[in-house]
Amino acid sequence: MAGGMPSESAAGQRVTRIILHRLRAPLRVPYKLSFGPVEAFDTILVEIAGEGGRVGFGEATFLPGYSEGTMEGSWGRATALAEQAAGGTTGEIMALAASLLQEGPFTATAFTTACEMLSGHPMLTRQETVAVPLLAIVNADDPAGYEAEIETHLAAGYGTLKVKVGFDMEPDLARVERIRQFVAGRAAIRVDGNQGYGRDEALRFAAALEPEGIELLEQPADAADWETAADLAKVARVPMMLDESIFGIADVERAAELGAARYIKFKLMKAGGMDRLATALARIRALEMIPVLGNGVAGGVGCWMEACVAASMIENAGEMNGFLKPAASIFTRPVRVENGAMILEAGGMPEINPATLRDLTVGKKEFTGR
């Protein structure tokens, strides 16, 4: 197991080495989104080593139009931070990362979570094995394809399914209705618009969506269009969820003030670290909304960390299924999924597979000392 529980305080651990791994991980099948298919994950994996051989990892996986800027810009930010932080303490690195939160939350999260793992964050260690329920994606467009997918998912124990829309409003609506009738209450259905519709289409879709069996409708309109988000909540026949609109607690509070959502989805990569993520999830509940957690565009490290948080803080199906999409697992022993749930083994994070890491690496930088 990587990491472990150290004797020093989190803030006082001396860092001996920082390695930045730039990865490109081809997917098993393209991941279809409203703006086009994703064929590979582009990731920065931050590796931070401390005295005594302890190691922590943090991940930032980038998605065009969703995450901070470009991969090139983020690689530059990560390089600059590592140059400044090498030889310091975990506390100093986390302070530097916090200063990047507005400009580069994904990059900041990768460094912070690596420090939190190195310091033995209590959410990342367990005395017993835990199962964290996940949702499953319905990808196929044709009835024969999605009916076969759905039956496979149900047989595998999944109780929540996600259907992507945001492509063409009327065909999307018809497809969701056919899927809803086929599922017939055997699982909850989340419908994800991925910001794919303009205002009028989004309102029409939300008003027309049949509610029975639909758990929620996620972000069908542009993330910056808060007026439409508030109006969607008024016309929708199902609960609304915001995702791409939410980057911090201020956005959570704005959603509550506008009555724009019943559900709020958060991702570790947006939060800036484990502790900040826990704070955000608690704030969502305090504002009488329901938190949903998980990133479908993340690798093994990020999804595993999110599941560790979900195990104690989330009551619905997690969306941290990105680790199932790459053709090769980053871990020596791939994380198990049983009965529709990710299995978190007792102890710490599974070991990184050095051969797979080497195969996926397209860039690497190492920093030691000041």
Give tens-digit pLDDT for 14-64: 999 999 999 999 999 887 766 678 899 999 999 999 988 899 999 999 876
Q: Is residue 78 scored above 80 in pLDDT?
A: yes
Mean pLDDT score, 296-300: 94
Which residue from 241, 305, 297 is spatially nearest to 272, judged by alpha carbons? 305
Which residue is listed with tokens 């680790």?
A: 323
pLDDT of residue 31: 78
Q: What is the mean pLDDT of residues 299-316?
A: 97
| Nearest-angstrom CA–CA distance, 27 and 37 | 11
- For range 55-83, the mean pLDDT: 86
Which amino acid is present at 319? E
pLDDT value at 327 more than 90: yes
pLDDT at 170: 97
Tokens linked to 160: 């929540």
- Per the CB < 8 A criterion, the answer to whether 119 and 10 are in contact is yes
pLDDT for 370 beyond 70: no
pLDDT at 4: 36
Predicted confidence band of residue 2 (pLDDT cuts 50, 70, 90): very low
pLDDT-derived band at 187, boundaries 50, 70, 90: very high
> pLDDT by residue (tens digit) across 188-239?
999 999 999 999 999 999 999 999 999 999 999 999 999 999 999 999 999 9
Rounded mean pLDDT, 277-294: 98
In total, the chain counts a number of residues equal to 370
Q: Would you list the domain boundaries of the chain?
A: 10-124+354-363, 130-344
Strands 130-133 and 341-344 turn out to be antiparallel
Q: What is the mean pLDDT of the chain?
A: 93
The rounded percent of the chain whose pLDDT value lies above 90 is: 85
pLDDT at residue 76 greater than cutoff 80: yes
The predicted pLDDT at position 70 comes to: 80
Q: Mean per-residue pLDDT for 262-283?
A: 96
CATH 3.30.390.10 matches 10-124+354-363: yes
42 φ, ψ (degrees, to nearest 5): -100, 120
CATH of domain 130-344: 3.20.20.120
pLDDT at 258 over 90: yes
